[in-house]
Copies of this chain bind each other. A is one copy, B any other.
Amino acid sequence: MDDHAQAYTPELVPTLGRQARAAAAQMASASAATKAAALRALAALLRQHGAPLQAANALDLERARAAGLAEPLLDRLRLSAAALETCAQGCEQLAALPDLIGEISGLRQQPSGIRVGQMRVPIGVFGMIYESRPNVTIEAASLAIKSGNACILRGGSEAIASNRALAALVQQALGAAGLPPEAVQLVPCTDRAAVGQLIALPQYVDVIIPRGGKGLIERISAEAKVPVIKHLDGNCHTYVDDPCDLELALRVTDNAKTQKYSPCNATESLLVARAVAGAFLPRMGAVFAAKGVQMRCCPESLAILQPALGLATTAPSAAASHDHAAPASSANGNAPTPLLVPATEADWGTEYLAAIISIKLVAGLDEAIAHINRYGSQHTDAILTTSHVHAQRFLREVDSSSVMVNTSTRFADGFEYGLGAEIGISTDKFHARGPVGVEGLTSLKYVVLGQGEVRG
């Protein structure tokens, strides 16, 4: 605890829950215009209050620096003017999107005479648990407003001053639009017990969305007494098929792996049809080598890449010592890291989040699909092919939340999918799969319109 956090009491979270439940009913019946007005008011406040927001953020940064936080983590914590402008623009974009709440679909008359359809309605109250980035506070708040939900936010303790300043503006915007400020509440203390309570109050919280490391998400899933929209691994595959467009395959695979190493939708494993490997792999390997990407190869791909690239290979015994379980932080492309390494079984199931890729030759489509369904994490997988039949089978048979043809796995993202915003990516099959936007925070209830029909 510190000056910017309130003291924890056991009554704190239940009180927030009661208030959220009451606010949720008002949010659910708010008009599209009112919700859009609140989002535009929030955008305006974020622009007007840049200086005080950055001052609050400076307190978090100072404390984090004093605590010895590494520079990449400080970066995530930083609320730059550009980051605030992005948040403001995100609110305006959401305000401009069509409002999904109340939409009725599939209304059809049944033999009895009644007409039956489904209406899209908010889920109610969601709890969001996240780590350092304070802009998640605005992303979650704006999605809650647009979707007609209430939410309770529990950000990282290191961002408490920033988050409290941001949440105060959100509540001001809600009030200005005539909506209940309690629709978006931040847990104002940093005590861990608050998280334990938040995930175990089904009477007040309908779903929990954790965003952060795998450890956090596994712990929350195991302990939650309410449904969790969770995102675990992103062990994404790109499969270069026979037949394929070689130039397209080179360009897309390069982008899928190297455009950015840390996102969950970056490709971690490359599968290549044996028939095209001779033409494809040497050129692809040269691109990876030039960018310092370590290739962890099956024996066959190694046998192609080694002579083609003229690179030394680490002996299997030495290579076996590389760390499969965690992102290989040492593998940043610098000289000491070998570029060609024999893969071990563990590589096929590993999400590196680093400049490392596993490479495996396969006989063709069947083996590729079987490999992905066995070792993948059901996140995002792509086929690069010119065969219509292969594309259709890949789309249908690969059991992942996003399946792609002839494009980069890096596109698996709520903004790129046109959702307007993203509160997370679900690797579950239940309720919502893949990028979760406004629609993932809603459900469908049945509406039945009659003219006095009775059941016989």
Contact = CB atoms under 8 A, between A and B. Distances in A.
Contacts of A29: 396-397
Given A400-B445, A431-B430, A434-B446, A411 B112 contact: yes
A411 B455 CA distance: 6
A408 interface: yes
A449 B417 CA distance: 11
Interface in A95-115: 102, 108, 110, 112, 114
Nearest to A112: B416
Nearest to A453: B407
Interface in A399-456: 399-408, 410-412, 416-418, 429-435, 443-455
Interface string A119-146: 1010110000000000000000000000
B110 A417 contact: yes
A248 interface: yes
B450 A404 contact: yes
B407 A114 contact: yes
Given A123-B429, A206-B430, A448 B407 contact: yes
Contacts of A395: 119, 447
A252 interface: yes
Given A25-B399, A110-B418, A405-B450, A443 B431 contact: yes
Contacts of A453: 252, 407-408, 411
Interface residue tally on A, bucketed by range: 35 or more
Interface string A241-281: 00001001001101100010000000000000000000000
A177 interface: no
A332 interface: no
Contacts of A252: 450, 452-454
A107 to B, nearest CB: 11
A36 to B, nearest CB: 18
Contacts of A432: 443
A126 B449 CA distance: 32
A28 interface: yes
A126 B82 CA distance: 47
A116 interface: yes
A249 to B, nearest CB: 9
Contacts of A259: 454-455
Contacts of A429: 123-124, 206, 443
Given A114-B411, A406-B450, A450-B404, A108 B28 contact: no
A207 interface: yes
A402 B405 CA distance: 39
Contacts of A418: 108, 110, 116
A94 to B, nearest CB: 17
Interface in A1-45: 25, 28-29
A373 interface: yes
B449 A406 contact: yes
Interchain residue pairs A-B with the least CB separation, the first 9: A407-B450, A255-B454, A248-B452, A410-B455, A404-B448, A431-B431, A402-B446, A406-B450, A434-B446
Interface of A: 25, 28-29, 102, 108, 110, 112, 114, 116, 119, 121, 123-124, 206-207, 227, 245, 248, 251-252, 254-255, 259, 373, 382, 395-397, 399-408, 410-412, 416-418, 429-435, 443-455
Given A407-B451, A433-B444, 12 more contacts: A114-B407, A121-B399, A207-B430, A402-B445, A402-B446, A402-B448, A405-B449, A405-B450, A410-B455, A416-B455, A417-B446, A417-B448
12 contacts: A28-B399, A29-B396, A251-B454, A254-B454, A255-B454, A382-B448, A399-B445, A402-B447, A402-B448, A403-B445, A404-B450, A433-B445
